[in-house]
Amino acid sequence: MTSEFDVIVVGGGPAGSTAAWKLRLGGMRVLVLDREPFPRLKLCAGWVTPEALKDLEIEPADYPHRLLSFRRLHFHAWGLHLPAPCVQHSIRRLEFDAWLLARSGAEVRQHAVSDIREEREGYLIDERYRARYLIASNCPFAPFALVIRCPVLAAVAAGLPVRSMTSARRSPALTAWNAGPAYCPRCR
CB neighbour list of residue 181: distance below 8 Å, 6 or more residues apart: 140, 145, 146
CB neighbour list of residue 71: distance below 8 Å, 6 or more residues apart: 85, 86, 87
Number of structural domains, the chain?
2
Quote the pTM value. 0.72
Q: Rounded to an integer, what distance in angstroms lies between the CA atom of residue 135 and that of residue 13?
A: 12
Q: Rounded to an integer, what distance in angstroms lies between the CA atom of residue 29 and that of residue 137?
A: 17
- Please work out, in degrees rounded to the nearest 5, the angle formed at the alpha carbon of residue 118 by the alpha carbons of 113 and 123: 60
Q: How confident is the model at residue 63 (pLDDT cuts 50, 70, 90)?
A: very high
Based on the domain organization, do 23 and 56 belong to the same domain? no
Based on the domain organization, do 27 and 70 belong to the same domain? no
Q: Rounded to an integer, what distance in angstroms lies between the CA atom of residue 98 and that of residue 16?
A: 12
pLDDT in tens, 115-172: 888 888 889 999 999 999 888 876 554 544 434 445 555 554 444 544 433 333 444 4
Based on the domain organization, do 60 and 150 belong to the same domain? no
Residue 178: domain span: 3-41+93-187
% of the chain at pLDDT higher than 70? 72
